[in-house]
């Protein structure tokens, strides 16, 4: 899977969008030809009200939608590149390690 995604001309789809929604703990709304989302990816417990919005074009391409009325410092993701990703990976590692420990303690190896 990873080798395939690394190839030139191979793009993300629903699986990656769902993963991004989980990683950033924000719903992701997909728009196409309407101001009503055609789909929302969300298992978010985020109560900030922030939403990542993407437009979907020609059944094959996504673009980010940015509210130009919001100043850049107050937009959804303003951390330096990689910061949120590193935190999300650390959180997942912690949860996985905790689950392994609990399983071992319960005798479930």
The predicted model scores a pTM of 0.65
* Segments forming the whole domain that contains residue 30: 2-70
d(CA 3, CA 53): 28
Which pLDDT belongs to residue 45? 67
Residue 83 and residue 63 share a domain: no
Residue 35 and residue 12 share a domain: yes
Residue 83 and residue 65 share a domain: no
Residue 83 and residue 57 share a domain: no
Residue 62 and residue 86 share a domain: no
Residue 59 and residue 27 share a domain: yes
Residue 57 and residue 103 share a domain: no
We report the CATH number of the domain holding residue 54 as: 3.90.70.80
Q: How confident is the model at residue 57 (pLDDT cuts 50, 70, 90)?
A: confident
Residue 91 and residue 62 share a domain: no
Mean pLDDT of 77-104: 80
Number of domains in the chain: 2
What region does 107 belong to: left with phi over 0, alpha with psi -120 to 50, or beta?
left
What percentage of the chain reaches a pLDDT higher than 70?
Answer: 85
> Alpha carbon of 58 to those of 31, 63, 85, 92: distances in Å?
12, 12, 29, 34
Enumerate the β-bridge partners of residue 63.
Answer: 55
Which pLDDT belongs to residue 78? 61
Residue 66 and residue 17 share a domain: yes
Which pLDDT belongs to residue 46? 66
């Amino acid at each position: 899977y990873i080798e395939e995604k690394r190839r030139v001309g191979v793009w993300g789809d629903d699986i990656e969008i769902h993963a991004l929604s989980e990683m950033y703990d924000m719903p992701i709304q997909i728009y196409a030809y309407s101001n009503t989302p055609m789909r929302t990816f969300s298992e978010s417990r985020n109560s900030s009200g922030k939403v990542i919005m993407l437009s979907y074009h020609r059944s094959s391409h996504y673009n980010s939608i940015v509210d130009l009325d919001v100043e850049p410092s107050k937009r959804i993701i303003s951390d330096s590149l990689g910061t949120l990703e590193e935190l999300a990976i650390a959180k997942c590692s912690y949860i996985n390690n905790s689950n392994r420990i609990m399983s071992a303690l319960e005798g479930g190896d």
